[in-house]
């Protein structure tokens, strides 16, 4: 018993080691190989997975890989049990990511040569079939497996509602910051809430503790998306959101603060930004002079603070604390 | 969450140099004096903000969490 505990500790010494990411991708690849019903189907899945691996080569700690691991370690002390769950959440993330790229008209170059309908099919299969099979193969009780499948289905339903809300605000003249915030929480917040909820249930946590971890994931995901929206407008070389006419949080904050005349002028700038990158600098300057970045930073910080409070309430084992704190702090401006 | 109150505080910070200096020196006292109604989370977040940081520096701190 003492030896087993020692092995577990040494294996989970560095929960954020890059080696874990490589192992998850390798296991996901094997899983896809086993599950594919034809060589061509496998090639399609592999193209998607290789693309994801390439996209996240630089990213130190993708949440879909490491959050389940940290939650499992925080609850059980054993980080290794999370590996098959991280495979399921990776496949899930991959499906959502492809669907997002399709909605934004922003498909990466590795899809060159594939038809849109084929890419839609990969996304649909990744969302509706493969994570469910991965979960069905987890070594847990039948009751736990049922609960995990239900959590997955409900999470996908909520994310779908958030995505719909997001799409319906595209190009609109009057969106409120509260509407945008709600759609961010329902889409990106729910995605991370799903990862932490699955991990907590898988680890055998009681329902009230599952809820704490779920809420913490939601707060991290919401803060992360709001921060990413700021990055796109204030830092990115090319703003995808401005090019697509997406009404992100900083834009909504500005619009609701302004008079009708000022709104008209700004909406005109937003329209021109779809065609001309030069207009982006004017939009940035306008937002800066209105204090929008500072106000957005405050809102992100509120979500970070919520996540910190929930982390304290969750009281995970020591080995997982710094990793979870790192996920929260990653979003903070301060 | 409604940002009207914090929005007003930031407007004042942008347009009133005296207020800006006061906030930089002692943010807690200034915010308390304004008697603005904040939740516990909002209060902690507001205290955590670095009011000395320029907008330029602030935009450099933005992280991309989602691809």
Return the residue matching tokens 């069905």: A136
Residues of B within 8 A of A298 (CB-CB) are 3, 6, 10, 42, 45-46, 49
Q: What is the CA radius of gyration of chain B?
A: 13
pLDDT in tens, B26-44: 888 888 888 777 888 988 9
A142 CA to chain B: closest CA distance, Å?
A: 34
Question: pTM value?
Answer: 0.91
Mean pLDDT throughout A63-92? 98
- Among residues A176, A189, A216, which one has the least CA distance to residue A310? A216
pLDDT in tens, A323-332: 999 999 999 9
In a domain, A147, yes or no: no
**Is the sign of the CA dihedral A195, B63, A187, A25 positive or negative?**
negative
In a domain, A201, yes or no: yes
Which domain does A261 fall in, by range?
174-334
- Among residues A97, A149, A328, A75, which one has the least CA distance to residue A224? A328
Give the total residue count for chain B. Answer: 67
Mean pLDDT throughout A119-127? 96
In a domain, A4, yes or no: no
Nearest chain B residue to A254 by CA: give it.
Answer: B7
Residue A7: the pLDDT is 40
In a domain, A216, yes or no: yes
Does residue A12 have a pLDDT over 80? no
Distance of alpha carbon A111 from alpha carbon A72, whole angstroms: 34
Residue B46: the pLDDT is 86
Residue A3: the pLDDT is 39
- Among residues A189, A190, A210, which one has the least CA distance to residue A200? A210
3-state secondary structure A283-311: HHHHHHHCCHHHHHHHHHHHHHHHHHHHH
Asked if the Cβ–Cβ distance from B65 to A228 is below 8 Å, we say yes
Nearest to B58 among A294, A330, A331 (CB): A294
Residue B67's pLDDT band, with cuts at 50, 70 and 90, is low
Residue A75's pLDDT band, with cuts at 50, 70 and 90, is very high
Q: Are residues A170 and A252 in contact, defined by beta-carbon separation less than 8 angstroms?
A: no
Does residue A215 have a pLDDT over 80? yes
Nearest chain B residue to A287 by CA: give it.
Answer: B55
**Does residue A199 share a domain with residue A242?**
yes
Nearest to A298 among B11, B49, B60 (CB): B49
Mean pLDDT throughout A202-209? 98
A297 CA to chain B: closest CA distance, Å?
A: 8
Contacts of A159 (CB under 8 A, 6+ apart): A96, A186, A187, A190, A191, A194
In a domain, A12, yes or no: no
A119-144 burial, b if ≥16 CB within 10 A, otherwise e?
beebbebbbeebbbebbeebebeeeb
Return the residue matching tokens 């000395």: B52
Does residue A275 have a pLDDT over 90? no
In a domain, A130, yes or no: yes
Q: Which residues of A touch B (CB under 8 A)?
A: 55-56, 59, 63, 97, 177-178, 181, 188, 223-225, 227-228, 230-232, 234-236, 253, 257, 288-291, 293-295, 297-299, 301-302, 304-306, 309, 330-334
Q: Where is the domain boundary, A139, A165, A182?
A: A139
Assign residue A305 the CATH number of its domain. 1.10.600.10
**Does residue A179 share a domain with residue A135?**
no
Does residue A191 have a pLDDT over 50? yes
Mean pLDDT throughout A69-77? 98
Residue A50: the pLDDT is 97
**Does residue A178 share a domain with residue A297?**
yes
DSSP, collapsed to helix, strand or coil, labels residue A17 as coil
Distance of alpha carbon A65 from alpha carbon A53, whole angstroms: 11
The total of structural domains in chain A comes to: 2
Residues of B within 8 A of A289 (CB-CB) are 14
Residue ranges of alpha helices (H) inside A169-291 are 177-184, 190-202, 207-234, 240-244, 249-257, 260-273, 278-289
Nearest to B66 among A224, A236, A301 (CB): A224
Distance of alpha carbon B11 from alpha carbon B5, whole angstroms: 10
Residue A9: the pLDDT is 42
**Does residue A22 share a domain with residue A121?**
yes
**Is the sign of the CA dihedral A76, A78, A12, A95 positive or negative?**
negative
Residues of A within 8 A of B48 (CB-CB) are 301, 305, 332, 334
Residue B5 CB coordination number (10 Å): 13
Q: A69-73, A122-126, A128-132, A283-287: which has the minimum mean pLDDT?
A: A283-287
**Does residue A219 share a domain with residue A313?**
yes
ipTM rounded to 2 decimals: 0.87
Asked if the Cβ–Cβ distance from A293 to B58 is below 8 Å, we say yes
**Does residue A135 share a domain with residue A182?**
no
Distance of alpha carbon A192 from alpha carbon A66, whole angstroms: 11
Say which DSSP state B30 is in.
Answer: H
In a domain, A3, yes or no: no
Does residue A130 have a pLDDT over 80? yes
Judge whether B11 is closer than 8 Å to chain A, CB to CB: yes
**Does residue A332 share a domain with residue A193?**
yes
- Among residues A221, A216, A225, A303, which one has the least CA distance to residue B48? A303
In a domain, A144, yes or no: no
Return the residue matching tokens 């493969």: A130
Mean pLDDT throughout A147-156? 98
Q: Where is the domain boundary, A85, A113, A139?
A: A139
């Amino acid at each position: 018993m003492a030896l087993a505990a020692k092995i577990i500790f040494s294996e989970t010494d560095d929960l954020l080691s890059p080696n874990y990411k490589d192992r998850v991708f390798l296991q996901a690849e094997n899983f896809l190989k086993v599950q594919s019903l034809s060589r061509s189907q496998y090639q399609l899945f592999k193209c998607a997975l290789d693309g994801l691996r390439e996209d996240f080569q630089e990213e130190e700690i993708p949440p879909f890989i490491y959050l389940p691991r940290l939650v499992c370690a925080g609850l059980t002390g054993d980080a290794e049990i999370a590996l098959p769950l991280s495979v399921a959440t990776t496949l899930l993330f991959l499906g959502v990511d492809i669907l997002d790229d399709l909605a934004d008209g922003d498909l990466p170059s590795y899809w060159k040569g594939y038809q849109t309908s084929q890419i839609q099919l990969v996304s649909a299969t990744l969302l509706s079939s493969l994570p469910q099979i991965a979960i069905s193969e987890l070594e847990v009780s039948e009751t736990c497996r049922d609960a995990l499948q239900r959590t997955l289905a409900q999470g996908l339903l909520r994310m779908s509602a958030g995505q719909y809300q997001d799409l319906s605000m595209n190009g609109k003249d009057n969106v409120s910051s509260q509407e945008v915030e709600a759609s961010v929480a329902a889409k990106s917040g729910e995605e991370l809430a799903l990862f932490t909820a699955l991990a907590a249930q898988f680890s055998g946590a009681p329902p009230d503790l599952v809820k704490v971890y779920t809420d913490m994931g939601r707060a991290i995901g919401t803060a992360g998306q709001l921060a990413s929206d700021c990055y796109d407008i204030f830092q990115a070389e090319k703003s995808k959101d401005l090019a697509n006419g997406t009404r992100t949080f900083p834009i909504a904050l500005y619009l609701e603060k302004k008079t009708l005349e000022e709104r008209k002028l700004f909406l005109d700038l937003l329209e021109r930004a779809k065609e001309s990158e030069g207009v982006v600098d004017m939009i940035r300057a306008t937002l800066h002079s209105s204090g929008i970045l500072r106000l957005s930073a405050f809102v992100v910080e509120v979500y970070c603070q919520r996540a910190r409070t929930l982390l304290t309430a969750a009281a995970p084992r020591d080995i997982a604390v710094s990793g979870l704190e790192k996920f929260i702090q990653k979003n903070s401006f301060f | 969450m409604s940002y009207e109150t914090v929005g007003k505080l930031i407007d004042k910070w942008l347009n009133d140099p005296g207020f800006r200096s006061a906030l930089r020196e002692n943010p807690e006292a200034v915010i308390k004096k304004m008697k603005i109604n904040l939740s516990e989370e909002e209060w902690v977040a507001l205290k955590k903000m670095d009011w000395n940081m320029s907008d330029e520096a602030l935009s450099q701190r933005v992280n991309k969490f989602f691809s």
